[in-house]
Homo-oligomer: A and B are copies of this chain.
Amino acid sequence: FEILLLPGDGIGPEVVAAATRVLDAAAGRFGLELRYEERRIGATAIREEGAPVSEETLRRAGEADAVLLGAVGDPEFDGGKVRPEAGLLALRRVLGTFANLRPVAAVPALSGSSPLRARLVEGVDLLIVRELTGGAYFGEKEEGEERASDLSVYTRGEVERVARVAFEAARGRRGRVASVDKANVLATSRLWRRTVEEVARDYPDVALEHVLVDAAAMHLVTNPGRFDVILTENLFGDILSDEAAVLPGSMGMLPSASLGEPGSPGIFEPVHGSAPDIAGKGVANPYATILSAAMMLRYGLGRPEAAEAIERGVSAAVEAGYLTPDLGGSSDTEEVAEAVVRRVT
């Protein structure tokens, strides 16, 4: 398998290096051959190559079997015209990664640092499936001095394909999909709701409910345990997945996968950012990137047994107390990587 590594900015290089060590251990254990190519994205690409992602990098991404990304973002470019994040948006667009999967699960060892009361966060295990290439993100924009507009567009086909991802995922989980929209106000939401209902007919074993986005934002706080799979459009997904991400008490454990059509490479990256304040100190928490590498094995390379081995290794390392400072521990990045490597069996 050809893997394109895009370590990116801040702590990105450290956590990607840790994840490749764990990947190599899993590859050895399961007889996979992984070949890495490393390229730039984000602020480091702006500095070295003049753009947040080069044409050549986009081309190489398209040729890879999967892309493992670290983090993108640097305060130096805040509010500037060229933004590191544009590299990520271009990559999503070029690879057509229309489904963003973000599992959020409570980690018992961390439940004390959840902002929620223990009884609300215990047992939370949800998956947000966010549409990633439609809506207001890539629609027509007008930006004048006196007036600006964003057009949010969805086609039936776009809704259908991401809905299928959610229903398939629900089958492998607790069999429930909550589709989130604002059908009492938005036309795109009404198309969304109709299409999701059509898709649901092909999944009679999966229970579907519709939840308005304002109600969903409430339920995530008052009763996150009620959700299994949450399916939603791009901008709502951006907001709700970040709201959900803080529930377990640390974003340092949360991976993500962005998937396109079968056969095209997915993007796998931690949910956390580039954390410039601790970059280069060797104390960055690599768990989320390691778990993203596991998602890459499962969804990108079709090797679920290797993915599970890494996930078991992470659980065992966390339970054994290998925690970086952000998790209240004193392990460094290398110690955590090493602890997981030893437990990938």
The CA of A287 and the CA of B236, in the complex, are separated in Å by 31
Q: Does A154 contact B (CB under 8 A)?
A: yes
Chain B residues with CB under 8 A of A153: 147-149
Take A221-B243, A245-B218 as given contacts and tell me if A187 and B120 are in contact as well, using a CB distance cutoff of 8 Å: no
Chain B residues with CB under 8 A of A218: 242-243, 245-246
Q: Quick one: which of A114, A115, A156, A236 has the most chain B CB within 10 A?
A: A115
Assess the A187–B149 pair: CB atoms within 8 A. Answer: yes
Q: Does A295 contact B (CB under 8 A)?
A: no
Q: Mark A93-104, 1 if CB is under 8 A from B, else 0.
A: 000000000000
Please state the number of chain copies in the assembly.
Answer: 2
A32 CB → nearest B CB, Å: 35
Determine which of B143, B152, B182, B243 lies in contact with A149 in the assembled complex, contact meaning CB atoms within 8 Å.
Answer: B152
Q: Does A278 contact B (CB under 8 A)?
A: no
A133 CB → nearest B CB, Å: 13
Assess the A151–B148 pair: CB atoms within 8 A. Answer: no
Assess the B191–A217 pair: CB atoms within 8 A. Answer: no
Take A115-B222, A117-B117, A221-B243 as given contacts and tell me if A155 and B151 are in contact as well, using a CB distance cutoff of 8 Å: no
Take A218-B243, A246-B221 as given contacts and tell me if A136 and B152 are in contact as well, using a CB distance cutoff of 8 Å: yes
A contact residues vs B (CB 8 Å cutoff): 83, 85, 89, 114-117, 120, 136-137, 139, 141-157, 182, 184-188, 190-192, 213-215, 217-218, 220-222, 235-236, 238-243, 245-247
Assess the A191–B246 pair: CB atoms within 8 A. Answer: no
If A147-B154, A182-B238 are given as contacts, then 5 extra A-B residue pairs at C-beta distance below 8 Å, sorted by A number, are A83-B184, A89-B185, A142-B187, A147-B155, A147-B191
A153's nearest neighbour on chain B, judged by CB, is B149
Assess the B186–A213 pair: CB atoms within 8 A. Answer: no
Assess the B150–A149 pair: CB atoms within 8 A. Answer: no
Q: Can you offer 22 A-B residue contacts whose CB atoms are under 8 A?
A: A83-B184, A114-B117, A115-B120, A115-B221, A115-B222, A116-B116, A136-B152, A141-B186, A147-B153, A147-B156, A148-B187, A148-B188, A150-B151, A150-B152, A152-B152, A214-B241, A215-B242, A217-B242, A218-B243, A218-B245, A220-B243, A243-B243
The CA of A245 and the CA of B214, in the complex, are separated in Å by 10
Chain B residues with CB under 8 A of A89: 185
Chain B residues with CB under 8 A of A245: 218
The CA of A245 and the CA of B220, in the complex, are separated in Å by 12
The CA of A126 and the CA of B306, in the complex, are separated in Å by 48
